[in-house]
Structure 1
């Protein structure tokens, strides 16, 4: 009886050995050739950039913020916006809307005024890339972007243009000493029209 049990036990062990031999191959540990910390998945990168270590501190740190987002000039340029959001415009500019219609003549006149008084800093199309902008800190406002923002209400634009930016640390002059209020509104109309030139709008 004991011999029979031993035979069955040996037969069972033999079957287990056969099944183990037929099972999936065990994964092998990576060899120590090359930089094992980069791993096989990064081999293509190592071919493009020899010695690249994606686990190094340089590659693991978060990407830096854009320099312009934290530069002192850009922080200064945001001061007017913060003032407007927190306190609004000065009392004399409250609820001041543009009383003039966006006629062809007003757009044309506004374009001439913009070219004479604004384009040197803000650029011909309001991109802040005028010739004089290179030496300004903070850089000029991107008027083409600003004009479509919710804060660009008439009273904000009249206040900004009339009073300039000295109180906020910018070099924009106070145009109320140079232009009439009517002329400032003409410039606003021109900007709201998309900074067109005569050829684009059919203005002659």
Structure 2
């Protein structure tokens, strides 16, 4: 004799289907309504912090010590945003005495940048590869195994963002005079910090 499923159990099976159907209907209606809130655009100073972290994190993929910001902390430069207006981008680089296994070190950087969603390519310079990367957290980056002075160098430029380069530099100088420290300061050689900022 065939037994019927008791009402409570039938309701148990029926309820998830109803709930899922309601959820799908809600998502469809919400999708048709369009975006309700746009994510805020990161300003140039925010991208400065990103590019410094990116360069530092890149150097940590290599078994090398002594990385220095020999050209100072990240500095801003004028750029053009996608909408055609002027913006600002930050550039930062670190250098260290050259390693020995250039090919292996280049491979490590390629693997790391690929993991960040960057497009990478490697230039062959007679056993001294240079890795180029674009996209991802920064606009572009380079890892050079044949930089000046027999050094390795990692340099990156942030995405172009809202900001006025002249104003940013003025604000930087004023904040520096007030004793404020900035991302990347810990890598600047003491002799490269101007006396007026001490």
Report 1 or 2 for greater relative contact order, CA contacts < 8 Å, sequence distance ≥ 6: 2
Q: TM-score, normalised by structure 2?
A: 0.24
Structure with the higher strand share, 1 or 2: 2
Larger Rg, first or second structure (1 or 2): 1
Structure with the higher helix share, 1 or 2: 1
Q: TM-score, normalised by structure 1?
A: 0.23
